Amino acid sequence: MTNDDGIFSKGIETLFNALSLEHEVNVVAPETEQSAIGHAITMLEPLRVNSIKRNGRFFGYALKGTPADCVKIAVSELMDQRPEIVVSGINLGANIGVDVIYSGTVSAATEAAVLGIPSIAVSIDSFAPATFSGATQFISKLVQLFGKDHLLPGGCLNVNVPNLPEEKIRGVRFTRQGTQRYLEKYDRRIDPRNHVYYWLANESVSRDDDPDSDSSALAAGYISVTPIQHDLTNYPALEILKKLKIEELRRH
């Protein structure tokens, strides 16, 4: 398990407690919050690892690095055996639409997929959820199913859970990544030394109206499950480019 909210977040602790009832769980997570760090990896400074206790017992390893770093070093150095599955979360705040590109939570899961390990990124649609029970119950069941070799080996699922009590979640929808986007807005401020600085303050512009999208499912009270991949090739565009005559390009 890993995340981008940091090893001391409530989300990773709650999911760890649920999964460790039936599985051997190893935690390697960032030492501090790494939200919106994307798929960055650390190359210009050393990675330092510290053992962490929570509630008086060993919980896992904190890494002074990114979520993708955590997956890489867990698999190559910190675990005695290759993990059967990687779970990233529970993240505070949904990861839908363009969020998927920026999310450290999702990037940790896609790093596992790059390494050929099935993975799940899980987020809850709130930054202050009243309960994680809906997410923990669903992920516990999904791990049992998705961890089997015959189901999407090396695949990655992006899961978003409504901020609702478990009994009020309407069900599960298998969705595509939506087109929800943000209006980029910065607050211009002045610090006590009279220096200007800027603070990013995103405002959601719209949700995707397509019922097959992740944002629509989440807004309707359903758990959204989206299969994602790290292959960014635009295949329709590739076919168009293949039809171009190279001679014409050379003349320009």
pTM, full prediction: 0.92
Q: Is the pLDDT of residue 252 over 60?
A: no
pLDDT tens for residues 98-134? 999 999 999 999 999 999 999 999 999 999 998 999 9
CATH topology of domain 10-179+209-251: Stationary-phase Survival Protein Sure Homolog; Chain: A, (3.40.1210)
- Domain extents for the chain? 10-179+209-251
Triad 42, 48, 49: Cα angle to 5°? 120
pLDDT of residue 180: 82
Of the pLDDT bands very low, low, confident and very high (cuts 50, 70, 90), residue 223 is very high
